[in-house]
């Protein structure tokens, strides 16, 4: 086992809430009466529906087609009838459209693609096309289509594939349980993508707080070209640029992509989905989700179908112990606060958090005392205090010059700020304004 590696900056919260669920084995959710498959869950263009109200669908059937290269197909999570296409609360905010499928209770459907047990005999182009057709996206965050991240642009040379098993966000343990209970899928998916990219350097980065997952991955990877790299428990270890630095010592240039450091990064969940798509011939219709927080009666990890309303997931976890002060999809640092329990889960929903009112208090901010803590923790080596002052003074030009566009919105600076400055809100505002001007 190689020595533990890390990046510069960052921090670790005093309490990370992982012990609520890190030993909870994955529980498969029973079939629901209705699923709401949202049409805006990938980072690119929303897919176009190819079914209409009244259509009968089978499990795994294509229900919405990718609209262009940076977009991903969507498939039916079960068999039944399309009730219609309606507006629902979006997992990443606002209102989005969703295909509503009323289950027929049979869950009928066969794998739409051939099972490739001898995937090693397939070409890189064939494997890439299978990943595209299976609608696989980055399952750890932005839901960027995996086939796009795996298509190396002309002129770029990639020699390393990194599988992101860091799961550094507090409370989340979905990837932890995936790697501990389904290590073979993660290793096979990694090997498939390694073959596709024609790289032999395939590394799974895992934070050092998941010993059972590390042991399972070590065992499953024995005799393969995939190796496990231990990472320090430090937030945001799983941010792409920080992970690349920790694993390879290479820096992605400002404004650059992992390709610029010779790397491709894929989430552990996406790797498992690639294994399913190639070996079993099935598209991505379900994922593991951590349902946790102090307001949940029985926190746990659940295998949920895409389109499951949050209210159903909370019922599986025993309901609530008190009226939550905050509902978040994702982790508490980078997740999206929600107003409604009707919001459905998407391919990138790693967690459902219900925090009690005392954990969701709104603190008033006070003036900056120039303590420099935000500068110490910023993993992008930015000056959050100065950026915030520029933005508050309306000087977006100065914020741009000081690289606000490189901000990951990781929230580490806001977490340590004793004056509780609204740093991330200001950076999001400035980035949005600057994008509009472009
Ligand atoms: S939110 Fe942005 S400025 Fe703050 S620590 Fe993270 S990357 Fe740095
Ligand atoms: S941590 Fe807060 S108070 Fe300290 S320098 Fe940064 S913005 Fe100012």
**Interval 56-94: pLDDT, tens:** 999 999 999 999 989 999 999 999 999 999 999 998 888
Structure confidence at residue 12 (pLDDT): 93
**DSSP characters over 416-432:** H-TT---HHHHHHHHHH
pLDDT above 90 for 351? yes
Structure confidence at residue 362 (pLDDT): 65
pLDDT above 70 for 428? yes
Q: What is the pLDDT of residues 250-260, one digit of tens each?
A: 999 988 999 99
Q: Provide mean pLDDT across the span 180-192.
A: 98
Ligand 2 pocket test: pick from 9, 364, 366, 369 the residue with the most ligand atoms within 8 Å of its Cβ: 369
Q: Provide mean pLDDT across the span 411-430.
A: 95
Ligand 1 centre and the CA of 123: distance in Å?
41
* 370 CA: nearest ligand 2 atom: 5
Structure confidence at residue 44 (pLDDT): 81
Q: Is 318 in the pocket of ligand 2 (CB under 6 A)?
A: no
CA distance 393 to 415: 23
How wide is the angle at C-alpha 340 spanned by C-alphas 337 and 343, nearest 5°? 85
Q: Provide mean pLDDT across the span 370-398.
A: 96
- Whose C-alpha lies nearest to ligand 2, atom 7? 385
Ligand 1 centre and the CA of 38: distance in Å?
30
Q: Is 407 in the pocket of ligand 1 (CB under 6 A)?
A: yes
- Whose C-alpha lies nearest to ligand 1, atom 6? 410
CA distance 328 to 219: 35
Topology at the third CATH level for domain 18-22+115-280: Rossmann fold (3.40.50)
Q: Is 134 in the pocket of ligand 1 (CB under 6 A)?
A: no
How wide is the angle at C-alpha 329 spanned by C-alphas 349 and 66, nearest 5°? 40
Structure confidence at residue 175 (pLDDT): 98
CB neighbour list of residue 395: distance below 8 Å, 6 or more residues apart: none
The answer to whether residues 166 and 237 touch, using CB atoms and an 8 Å cutoff, is yes
pLDDT above 90 for 208? yes
Name which of 133, 178, 142 is nearest 271 in CA terms. Answer: 178
Residues of each domain in the chain carrying CATH 3.40.50.11540: 18-22+115-280
Burial 115-129 (b: 16+ CB within 10 A, else e): ebeebeebeeeebbe
Whole-number average pLDDT of the chain:
95
Sign of the Cα pseudo-torsion (63, 274, 329, 337, in order): negative
CA distance 309 to 343: 6
Ligand 2 pocket test: pick from 11, 373, 391 the residue with the most ligand atoms within 8 Å of its Cβ: 373
Q: What is the pLDDT of residues 6-64, one digit of tens each?
A: 999 999 998 999 999 999 999 999 999 999 999 976 578 899 999 999 999 999 999 99
Q: Is 385 in the pocket of ligand 2 (CB under 6 A)?
A: yes
The answer to whether residues 66 and 72 touch, using CB atoms and an 8 Å cutoff, is yes
**pTM for this structure?**
0.95
Q: Provide mean pLDDT across the span 394-412.
A: 95
Burial bucket for residue 366 (CB in 10 Å: 0-12, 13-18, 19+): exposed
Ligand 2 centre and the CA of 326: distance in Å?
25
Comparing 237 with 69, the larger pLDDT belongs to 237
- Whose C-alpha lies nearest to ligand 1, atom 5? 378
Tokens of 309: 């309303």
């Amino acid at each position: 086992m190689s020595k533990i590696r890390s990046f510069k900056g960052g921090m670790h919260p005093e309490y990370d809430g992982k012990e609520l669920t890190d030993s909870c084995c994955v529980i498969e959710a029973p079939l629901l009466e209705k699923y709401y498959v949202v049409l805006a869950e990938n980072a690119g263009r929303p897919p176009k529906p190819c079914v209409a109200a009244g259509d009968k669908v089978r499990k795994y059937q294509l229900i919405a087609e990718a609209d262009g290269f940076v977009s991903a197909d969507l498939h039916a999570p079960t068999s039944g009838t399309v009730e219609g296409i309606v507006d629902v609360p979006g997992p990443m905010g606002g209102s989005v459209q969703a295909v509503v499928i009323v289950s027929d209770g049979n869950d009928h459907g066969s794998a739409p693609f051939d099972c490739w047990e001898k995937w090693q005999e397939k070409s890189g182009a064939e494997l890439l096309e299978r990943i595209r057709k299976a609608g696989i996206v980055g399952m750890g965050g932005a839901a960027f289509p995996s086939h796009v991240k795996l298509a190396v642009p002309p002129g770029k040379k990639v020699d390393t594939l990194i599988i992101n098993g860091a799961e550094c966000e507090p409370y989340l343990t979905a990837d932890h349980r995936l790697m501990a209970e389904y290590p073979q899928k993660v290793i096979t998916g990694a090997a498939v993508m390694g073959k596709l990219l024609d790289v032999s350097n395939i590394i799974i980065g895992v934070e050092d707080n998941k010993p059972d997952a590390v042991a399972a991955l070590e065992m499953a990877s024995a005799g393969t070209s995939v190796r496990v790299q231990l990472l320090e428990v430090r937030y945001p270890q799983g941010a792409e640029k920080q992970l690349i630095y920790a694993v390879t010592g290479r820096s992605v240039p400002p404004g650059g992509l992992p390709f610029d450091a010779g790397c491709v990064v894929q989430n552990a969940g996406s790797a498992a989905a690639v294994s399913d798509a190639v070996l079993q011939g099935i598209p991505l219709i379900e994922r593991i989700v951590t349902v946790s927080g102090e307001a949940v009666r029985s926190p746990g990890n659940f295998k949920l179908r895409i389109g499951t309303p949050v209210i159903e997931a909370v019922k599986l976890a025993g309901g609530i112990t008190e009226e939550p002060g905050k509902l978040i999809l994702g982790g508490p640092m980078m997740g999206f606060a929600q107003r409604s329990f009707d919001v459905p889960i998407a391919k990138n929903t790693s967690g459902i958090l219900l925090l009690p009112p005392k954990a969701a208090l709104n603190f008033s901010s006070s003036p900056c005392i120039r303590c420099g803590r935000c500068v110490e923790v910023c993993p992008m080596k930015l000056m959050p205090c100065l950026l915030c002052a520029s933005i508050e003074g309306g000087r977006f030009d100065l914020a741009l010059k000081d690289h606000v566009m490189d901000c990951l919105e990781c929230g580490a600076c806001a977490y340590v700020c004793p004056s509780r400055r609204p740093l991330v809100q200001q950076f999001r505002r400035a980035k949005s304004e600057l994008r509009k001007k472009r």
